[in-house]
Amino acid sequence: MIEARDLTKRYGDKLAVDHLSFTVEPGRVTGFLGPNGAGKSTTMRLILGLDRPQAGSATINGKRYVDLKQPLRTVGALLEAKAMHTGRSAYNHLLFLAQTQGLPRSRVDDVLAMVGLQEVAHKRTGGFSLGMSQRVGIAVAMLGDPEIFVLDEPVNGLDPEGILWIRNLMKALAAEGRTVFVSSHLMNEMAVTADHLIVIGRGKLIAESSTQEFIERSSEKSVLVRSPDAARLADLIAAEGGKATAEEAANGRAETLSVRGLDAPRIGEIAAAQQIVLHELTPQLASLEEAYMELTADSVEYVVPGPHGRAEAGAAAAEPTGITAPGRTE
């Protein structure tokens, strides 16, 4: 279990982490979300004792990281993937770390096999791709077979297969009762990986809840209705307390409605009662990415003015993301 209490870190006059408190529980994957520059990496560095907070504390199973006897056996961390000596082999990088913990050489071979790097283990890491470096980083995190994992953007630079591998690995580790704390700036990635979410912006806690709760709370529900008798249906829906907005159809005929305030079964019943033909009746969920963008819109650190003066990040969210929120597939 990881606990942050009132964690505060200031670099010069910039407040990177602002009185942040949260708990990361074992047995589940906890996603740590926030836009670039939100303070995710800094928070992780504070937890791992690399940086010292100005105020507050971070503990691992009740102890400060500094006080852990064999830290790599308790916490496995992946920070920057490329943090290796380019002239040293992956094997030797893992070996010296294993030696600091009194781990046998065989463990180095084990973790190299686990991440699929046996064949390049003795090559210098300078020639490694970002994806390969990321795998070395995962191997380092796994080295001490720890019960707690702290992973900073582990899917960065990985191909789709690698992303799936990490995702499954994190889920399997959590299923064994381990604590998995993983940061990302991609909501969609977290939606399919994390059980629990901690969202921060500008160093402050924005939201903390289960992923399901987050999706339900953040997504505005609506129902898409297509009917040749759309105008009459809209009046009936309004009479029942719903709000129907006509949407421009492709052929110019306003036969598509977006309904809020009533759920799909109720709309179906209304239509049936009045014998109105329905061509489509689909519950809609706003994309998770949109909900996340909205949530963090005020705390985006670096904004590019868009064509309408809005942040480019917000404009991008309106684009189809290609990944469907879990609710939509039901």
Partner 1 sequence: MTSASPVAPGRAGGPAVPSASRNVGFGHLLLAEWTKIRSVRSTIWSLILLVVVTLGFTGLFTWLTVLQWSKSDPTQRAQIVADPVSTILGSGLFLGQLTICVLGVLVIASEYSTGVIRASLLAVPRRIPMLIAKAVVFAALVLVVGECVTFASFFIGQPILHSHAPVSLGDPGVSRAVWGAGLFLAVLGLFAMSIGAIIRHTAGAITGVIAFVLVLAPLTQLIPGKIGKYVHGYLPTEAGHLIGQAHQQANQVLSPWAGFGVFCLWTAVLFGIAIWLLVRRDA
Nearer to partner 1, 30 or 219 (CB): 30
Residue 204 beta carbon to partner 1: minimum distance, rounded to whole angstroms: 21
Residue 326 beta carbon to partner 1: minimum distance, rounded to whole angstroms: 21
54 binding partner 1? (CB under 8 A): no
Q: Identify the residue among 103, 121, 182, 311 touching partner 1 (CB under 8 A).
A: 103
Phi, psi of 223 (to 5 degrees): -125, 130
13 binding partner 1? (CB under 8 A): no
Nearer to partner 1, 81 or 225 (CB): 81
- Of 113-121, 213-221, 227-235, 286-294, which part binds partner 1 (CB under 8 A)? 113-121
Residue 182 beta carbon to partner 1: minimum distance, rounded to whole angstroms: 14
95 binding partner 1? (CB under 8 A): yes
Q: Identify the residue among 89, 193, 296, 299 touching partner 1 (CB under 8 A).
A: 89
- Of 27-35, 85-93, 207-215, 235-243, which part binds partner 1 (CB under 8 A)? 85-93
- The three-state DSSP-derived secondary structure of the chain is CEEEEEEEEEECCEEEEEEEEEEECCCCEEEEECCCCCCHHHHHHHHCCCCCCCEEEEEECCECHHHCCCHHHHEEEECCCCCCCCCCEHHHHHHHHHHHCCCCHHHHHHHHHHCCCHHHCCCEHHHCCHHHHHHHHHHHHHCCCCCEEEEECCCCCCCHHHHHHHHHHHHHHHHCCCEEEEEECCHHHHHHHCCEEEEEECCEEEEEEEHHHHHHHHCCEEEEEECCCHHHHHHHHHHCCCEEEEECCCCCCCCEEEEECCCHHHHHHHHHHCCCCCCEEEEEECCHHHHHHHHHHHHCCCCCECCCCCEHHHHHHHCCCCCCCHHHHC
Q: Identify the residue among 130, 164, 254, 316 touching partner 1 (CB under 8 A).
A: 164
Q: Identify the residue among 7, 33, 121, 140 touching partner 1 (CB under 8 A).
A: 140
Binding mask 119-138 for partner 1 (x = CB under 8 A): x-----------xx--x---
Residue 73 beta carbon to partner 1: minimum distance, rounded to whole angstroms: 7
Reference 279, options 242, 232, 230, 329; nearest CA is 230
151 binding partner 1? (CB under 8 A): no
273 binding partner 1? (CB under 8 A): no
Where do contacts with partner 1 occur on this chain (CB under 8 A)?
Answer: 45, 48-52, 65-66, 68-73, 75, 77, 79-80, 82-89, 92-93, 95-97, 99-104, 107, 110-111, 113-116, 118-119, 131-132, 135, 140, 142, 144-146, 159, 161-162, 164-165, 168-169, 172-173, 175-176, 178
